[in-house]
Structure 1
Amino acid sequence: MSDEYWFCLEHHRVEGEHGCRNADRLGPYPTEAEAARALQTVEERNEAWDNDPAWNDDALED
């Protein structure tokens, strides 16, 4: 068994190497705990990117 973990988007649970298909999972993560908070990590990253002053979608609207 691998020492990597994934978060299954279909079943909302942490899986090991042999879980659902990769298209339905986030990861891999090095620990089970990190995989368990995958959705929070995605939310935090999206928030950071949405508020990144170096990224300016408004310039594309001109």
Structure 2
Amino acid sequence: MLSSDWYYCLDHHTVEPYEGCRSASRLGPYRTIDEAWAALARVAERNEAWDHDPRFVDDAEADDSKPDDERSDWGPFGG
């Protein structure tokens, strides 16, 4: 039986079916072999977008005088 899911293995730098290396060592699943081969490019694109997303840019004017647990805006969802 052929797998319909493909993964990019970070240990071996290759594409493999579900029956491959452990999940912690690979990216996916992807629907096609070509999508799996493009996994690292997709990661790079997402990292670039994340680095320039205004929601995640550190604010130089943030109140860093108090520890996080004493700041009024501290928490997993902001304040």
TM-score, normalised with respect to structure 1? 0.88
Q: Which structure 1 residue ranges, 5 or more long, are not aligned?
A: none
Partner of 1:58: 59
Q: Which structure 2 residue ranges, 5 or more long, are not aligned?
A: 65-79
In the aligned structure 2, how far is the partner of 1:58 from the partner of 1:30?
Answer: 39
Equivalent pairs, count: 62
In the aligned structure 1, how far is the partner of 2:12 from the partner of 2:23?
Answer: 13
Partner of 2:27: 26
In the aligned structure 2, how far is the partner of 1:49 from the partner of 1:32?
Answer: 26
The answer (yes or no) to whether the contact 2:51–2:57 under 8 Å persists in 1 is no
Q: Detail structure 1 runs of 4+ shifted over 6 Å in the superposition.
A: none
Higher relative contact order (CA 8 A, sep 6+): 1
Give the C-alpha shift of residue 2 in structure 1: 1.9
The one-character-per-residue Cα deviations of 1:14-38 (angstroms, maximum 9, x if unpaired) are: 0001111101000000110010011
**Structure 1 SS opposite 2:56:** coil
In the aligned structure 2, how far is the partner of 1:9 from the partner of 1:61?
Answer: 39
The answer (yes or no) to whether the contact 2:9–2:27 under 8 Å persists in 1 is yes
